[in-house]
Structure 1
Amino acid sequence: MEITSAYLVMSAVLTIRPDRTQFFRYEAFTLSCAVPGHFTGWRVKRNTSTGSFVPCQNNWGRPNGSLCMNRKVFSSDSGQYWCESERECSNVLNITVDTGVVILESPALSVTVGDKVILRCSYREIWAQSSSSDFNATFYQNGTFIGTLPQGQMIIEKVSKSSEGFYKCQHPTKGESPQSWLSVKGDEAKAPPVPTPPLMSLPSLVCTILLFILYTGILMLCVHTYRKWARARADAKRTAPDHL
C-alpha cells in the first residue's frame, strides 16, 4: 500500500534506533520524526496486521513529542511506520519482527553512492538476552549467492547503484534471515567529457590560409634562388682556365 499518495508534501524524515529494519522478538526500538520547525500536529503512525493507520499510543508505543518508543516487540508489530500531519508526511519504514533466530541488520534509510555500508548477520537463541555475529555467515543479494564471510558481516566499502537490492543472510546451521531492501541514492561518478577542440572562426581560417600561402611562396623563392646560384657557380667552374 502506498502511504504517501494522499499527501501533498513529504517534508519529514522518520528514523529508527537501532538503525535497522529487522528485530528479534522482545527487542525494542524508538522511532523519531525529524520535522523542520516545530513538531506540533505531527503523529507517528503504523499499519500492521493488528490495525491500519494507528497512531503511537499505549497499546503499541509511548509517544513523547517527536519520539515513539516501542517496548518488547512481537511479530504483530511487523508493518509500515511513518509520521504525518494533516497535509504532510514522512518516508515509510518497513519493519520486520522475526519469529526465528537469525536476522540481517542493514540500514533503515537510503544510503548514498560512495558510502561504506556494513551488513551484519545476527543470531540469538529464543531464551537469550543478547545476539551474536561471531560465525561465518552466507550472504545473498536478490537471491544470488555473494559469499560466506567471517564475523557474520559483509562490508561494502563504496556502495554503487548496483549494490541496491534485497539482501538476506544465513547461519551455518540455524537458518536464514528475512530479506531487507538496501536503497541507494545518488548518481554514479562519471568521467569528465573529453573536451572537443574549439572550431576556428572564418577570419582566423582566412588568415591561416594566407600565411600558409605566403610561407610557401617564400620557401619556393628561396629554393629557386639557391638553385640559380648553384647553377651559376657550376658554370663558372667549367669556364675558368686551368692553372698549372
Structure 2
Amino acid sequence: MEVTALCIQIFMNVFVLLSTQACLSYTVQKPYFPIISPDRLQFFEYESVFVNCGGDKDMNAWRVMRKLYQISPQNVSEACSNTAPSCTIHNTFERHSGEYWCENDEGKRSHAVNISVTAGPVILNISAQPVKEGSDVTLRCINKNTERTHISDFYKDDVHLTTYYKTDMTLFMVSKFDEGLYKCSISHQGESPESWLTVVESTEEEGCYIFLVFNITFLCTFDT
C-alpha cells in the first residue's frame, strides 16, 4: 500500500510542474488605458501629473501621445516626452488639458483618456481608470481653497442628479447606464470641468487552464 501511494504522489507533482511552466509563457498584455497618477481626470493648475504606458521592459516600444485642446487650430498630435513610455508634467496649466493615449511604432494605440486642468477652484475627483460593472464608485467634489465639508451639486450629461450636504456622492453597483459625463458645483465657488466615467463589463480574469492528456506508467515493484 505504501508503494501505491508513492506512485500517485509522483503523478500529481508532474502535472503541477507542467501546468506552472505553461503559465509562465503567458503573453504580456498591451496597455488598455494609460495609467494616470494621481488616479483622476481633473487637476488644479500647478499640480503634477504622471502618465505611464506600463512599467514592464517589453512596454518600452510604447510611448505617451497627446492631443492638447489649445495647442493649435489643427489640434495636432504630439509625443508627450519624445519616445518615452511615461511622461511627467510638472506645474500643469489649462493648456495641458487634452486627450492622452499610448502608441507604438506599428501604429497600435490604447484607449484614450481626457485630462482636464482648470484654473478654477473646483474639480471633480473621478477615476481615470475604467470601473467594473457591479462595483461602487465614489465621486468627490473638491474645493481648492478649503477642506471643509460643503454643499455639492452633481450632474450627469448636464442633468442635475442630486444635492449633497457633503463632498462625496457614491454610485452603487454601476452599470453601463451610469456611463457618461459628470461634473459638480459648489455654491458661490464655481463648477468643475466635465469628465467621462467609463464602465466596463465585469469579467473574470483569464487564467492558465492547461488540459494535459498523457499516459504515464509507473512500475512499482515490491517484495512479496
Runs of 4+ in 1 over 3 A off after TM superposition: none
Which of the residues 191, 195, 198 maps onto 1:176? 191
TM-score relative to the length of structure 2? 0.68
> Which of the pair is proportionally richer in strand?
1
2:95 matched residue in structure 1: 76
Q: Secondary structure at the match of 2:34?
A: strand
CA distance in 1, matches of 2:138, 2:148: 12
Unaligned segments of structure 2, at least 5 residues: 1-28, 203-224
Percent same amino acid among aligned pairs? 35
User: Which residues in structure 2 correspond to 1:93-242 (within 5 Å)?
Assistant: 93-125=113-145, 132=147, 134-186=149-201
Alpha carbons of structure 1 residues 158 and 15: separation in structure 2 relative to 1, 3 Å: same
Which of the residues 59, 63, 66 maps onto 1:39? 59
Q: Deviations over 1:64-83 (max 9, x none)?
A: x6321111100110111112
**Alignment of 1:24 onto 2:31:** no
CA contact (8 A) 1:136 1:152 kept: yes
Cα RMSD for the two superposed structures: 2.4
Paired positions, count: 169
Write the letter of the residue equivalent to 1:41.
Answer: A
CA distance in 2, matches of 1:32, 1:133: 33
**Alignment of 1:55 onto 2:55:** no
1:15 matched residue in structure 2: 35
Q: Deviations over 1:83-131 (max 9, x none)?
A: 2111222121111111211111111122111111010101114xxxxx6
Unaligned segments of structure 1, at least 5 residues: 1-9, 126-130, 188-244
Q: Secondary structure at the match of 1:90?
A: coil
> Which of the pair is proportionally richer in helix?
1
Alpha carbons of structure 1 residues 154 and 36: separation in structure 2 relative to 1, 3 Å: same
TM-score relative to the length of structure 1? 0.63
Q: Deviations over 1:113-156 (max 9, x none)?
A: 1111010101114xxxxx63621211111222211113311011
Q: Which has the higher contact order (CA 8 A, sep 6+)?
A: 2
